[in-house]
Structure 1
Amino acid sequence: MYKLFAIDIDDTLLAKDLTISRVNQKAIQKARKAGVKIVICSGRATSSLWPYIQELDLVQPKEYTISYNGAMIIENSNQRKCFYRGISQTYTQHLLDVANQWGIDVQLYIEDDLVVDRITDRIHQYVVMSGMNVVEVGNLNTYIKGETIKVLFNGNHEVLKKAVVELEPWIQGKLHMFFSKPEYLEFVNIEANKGLAVLHLAKELGIERENIMTIGDSFNDLYMIEAAGMGIAVANAHPDIKKLADYVTKKTHEEDAVAEAIGKFLL
């Protein structure tokens, strides 16, 4: 029996209009009544996830959320940090230097704020989608004074791939680097990813790996798909993710893939 179900948000639980369908909502509540711990696990900031946490009635004691691609775990009832791993100022500075060379927009996540040089069209689109509070500082290089929770390069996919080639020799053993979407290249602490966070939370809750189920669609979900006893990819997932999943849903995120997974494995 699976006791913990970690669910990615974007392109997994949410439809294209960024809403949770009634079918998915009902399935999640049935799973909760059956004793399954539901954990939202996303690359987004905690503040960006909060409306969905409230909608799912997860603002309760002993309910948890994994945010920033596994860099933070909070208990929902009091927003107490149960786990946190940040990126050092030195590493952040290096990423800023590389981004500047390639003309890539950079987003820094500091506490619950999205900190940027300036609000470009790309960053504006992200802010509209995420609902985050954005702080425009003019020069990120002089603004940063300590750790950053997450760094995101927001740009053209082909340009981002060139940045990846440049960064790969340097980044080994320092940070995790992955695409959450073709236009989003993300960086978190080497000790933080969705898989490690799910396993950390499960250990704290006394849940074994074989009793964990996860579902996602993209490369930032790969760690938790591989970490779980049952790692699921939605039908709209990247082909490389599908190859490594234990099960691929027949339905996409537009067709209630999460409800399909719950019906098949949890109820």
Structure 2
Amino acid sequence: MNIKLIAVDLDGTLLNDKQEVSTKTKEALQKASKMGIKIVPCSGRPFPGIKEYLDELNLKDPDQYVVAFNGALVLNSAGKPIVEELLNYSDFLFFEKIAENLQANFHIEVRDKFITLNHFINYYLSRESWLTRMPIEVSELKNISEDIKFTKAMFSGSPAEMNNIYQNLPKDVVEKYNVSTSDETLIEINSKQASKGNALKELAKKLNFKQDEVMIFGDQKNDISMFDVPGFYKVAMGNAVPEIKKRANYVTKTNNEDGIAYALRRLIFDE
């Protein structure tokens, strides 16, 4: 197997349930990196919430890359954008109206912060702020610039609230945008062109890699776009949702059982 790029989701994949990269996983990815394989964190998180793991894995070379915001941005390890697929002011107004109609907690992500019109910050957005290392800015509609460009729109709430909102989203949301979930308390909405799968295809093309030279690891529904790219070698975590496992070439152990390291030893290192 001639793999030149390994893309790894973060939550539930690279990270165990303690939000840590295990020693075995770290050692396996660093070994692959020393073999000349590019290791690309690929997450719904923003760049500030990914960079610490680049540092932990010692992936500081400017020729290393990350896929952030579910594919809205591909950046090098210094934070310079390579690929951008952003939303605009009219998208903001569209989603804000939906949030008002559904009485939903709504916010957007720009590169370095969350912006919301809600004066009540719920637990789920607070948790996202902590996980991603990004502050929350509470604003008024009149203060939102008509020139604004943002990476992702999000609804947050309890699993029951999110299920109700998902069931009641206008049909044209799914038709015009890329709607996904990274966990049951969030609904994430990107540009139709922005997805982890499209971002990785663009990155591989820029690096002159063939699609069958890309290996991916994932576990959640926002990873499906990667698992739908025909040429990628697809590894599902043992804790992955069924939609991921059924698309996989290989199912490894869970994120709490060093699943990435287990798969790399068998598929790349021939151990």
Q: Shorter-normalised TM-score: what interval? A: over 0.9
2:35: which partner in 1? Answer: 34
CA drift at 1:142: 4.9
Q: For residues 165 and 142 of structure 2, what CA distance do their matches in structure 1 show?
A: 18
Residue in 1 aligned with 2:249?
246
How big is the alpha-carbon RMSD for the aligned residues of Structure 1 and Structure 2? Answer: 1.6
TM-score (norm 1): 0.93
Instruction: Point out where structure 1 has 5 or more consecutive residues left out of the alignment.
Output: none
Q: Distance in 1 between matches of 2:136 and 2:217?
A: 29
Equivalent position amino acid for 2:87 in 1:
I
Distance in 2 between residues matched to 1:29 and 1:222, nearest whole Å = 26
Matching residue of 1:107: 107
Checking the alignment, whether the CA contact within 8 Å between 1:102 and 1:159 is kept in structure 2 is no
Quote the sequence identity (%): 28
**Structure 2, unpaired ranges of 5+:** none
* 1:172 to 1:185, Cα distance in 2 relative to 1, 3 A: closer
| Within-5 A mapping of 1:172-183 | 172-183=174-185
What is the letter of the counterpart of residue 69 of structure 1?
N
Q: Which amino acid aligns with 2:100?
A: N
Q: Kindly state the Cα deviation for residue 172 of structure 1 after the two structures are TM-superposed.
A: 4.4
Does the C-alpha gap of structure 1 residues 242 and 141 become closer, same or farther in structure 2, counting only changes over 3 Å? farther
Q: How does 1:6-155 map to 2 (within 5 A)?
A: 6-76=7-77, 78-116=78-116, 117-118=118-119, 119-137=121-139, 139-140=140-141, 142-145=143-146, 146-155=148-157
| Of 194-203 and 123-132, the range deviating more from structure 2 | 123-132
Query: CA 1:141–1:24 in structure 2 vs 1: closer, same or farther (change >3 Å)?
Result: farther
Deviation at 1:31, TM superposition (A): 0.6
- Residue correspondences, number: 264
1:217 aligns with 2:219: yes
The structural deviation recorded for 1:18 is 0.9
Runs of 4+ in 1 over 6 A off after TM superposition: none
Q: Which amino acid aligns with 1:178?
A: S
Match of 1:13, SS state, is coil
Q: 1:105 to 1:144 in 2, by over 3 A?
A: farther
Instruction: Give the alignment of 1:182-197 within 5 angstroms.
Output: 182-197=184-199
Shifted more, 81-90 versus 143-152: the winner is 143-152
TM-score (norm 2): 0.92
Q: CA shift at 1:240, angstroms?
A: 1.9
CA contact (8 A) 1:107 1:115 kept: yes
